[in-house]
Amino acid sequence: MKEPTFYKVVRRPLAACFKAIYKPTIVGKKNIPESGRIVLAGNHTHYFDCLIVASATDRCVHFLAKDELMKGPQKHIFKALGIIPVNRRTKDKAALEKAEEVLKDEKVIGIFPEGTINRTDDIIMPFKFGAVKMAQETNSKIVPFAITGAYKPFERSVKIRFFEPIEVSENLEDANNNLMNVVIGGLENGGDKNEKA
């Protein structure tokens, strides 16, 4: 599977612009393998979350995103970026199968298991099972991440922490809870025990 050329062309200038404006603190980027299949999964706070994740690695991240983005003229841009559309109104087997194809080709999937931006007062919303299911079925590890703070221009107010890769157990419910707990730990106390610079 060939990586999307448009993604490779725009990633560096877009990441540089994003970093110049929002000055994100990125911790644990060494936990993202330089090669091989991997799932990046964490909490969803803002529309810019895809940018902060993508700016942390030179690898092409194929994000799963709501299929509404693939309607109208913007669909050509998102398609060229390698976005995998998900129908959130049902269990989208086609999206899961496409994500698994990407992983089997030793590429990177980015996913927000909450399924949407968390606008509740809860620290996190329950994770859907897509991340652990695709990881289990493709024998992929998951690199959890936690995004804290807010996107304020020209302030160091947003931070992302990537944690050590975790293996998915045979019990999907246990695996999903484990993933959630790692992310929650990062949101509550910074997750310093699991971080690498």
Query: Would residue 65 be called left, alpha or beta, if left means φ above 0 and alpha means ψ between -120 and 50 degrees?
Result: beta
- Cα(127)–Cα(82) distance, integer angstroms: 23
Average of pLDDT values for 190-196? 43
Residue 52: in which H helix or E strand, if any? helix 49-54
Q: pLDDT-derived band of residue 90, with 50, 70 and 90 as boundaries?
A: confident
Q: What are phi and psi of 156, to 5 degrees?
A: -85, 70
Q: Is the pLDDT of residue 160 over 50?
A: yes
- Return the pLDDT at 77: 87
- Cα(27)–Cα(159) distance, integer angstroms: 8
Task: Tokens for 130, please give them.
Answer: 């897509």
Return all residues near 62 (Cβ < 8 A) that are at least 6 apart.
82, 83, 84, 99, 102, 107, 108, 109, 110
Nearest of 108, 110, 112, 127 to residue 45 by alpha carbon: 112
How far does Cα 60 stand from its chain's mean position?
A: 12
- Return the pLDDT at 145: 98
Helix axes 130-138, 93-104, angle to 10 degrees: 40
Q: pLDDT-derived band of residue 117, with 50, 70 and 90 as boundaries?
A: very high
Calculate the average pLDDT of the chain.
Answer: 92
- Cα(138)–Cα(140) distance, integer angstroms: 5
- Return the pLDDT at 191: 41
- Return the pLDDT at 196: 39
- Return the pLDDT at 194: 39
The SS3 assignment for 19 reads: helix
Average of pLDDT values for 187-195? 58
- Tens digits of residue pLDDT in 17-62: 999 999 999 999 999 999 999 999 999 999 999 999 999 999 999 9
* pTM for this entry: 0.92
Strands 158-162 and 141-149 come out as: antiparallel
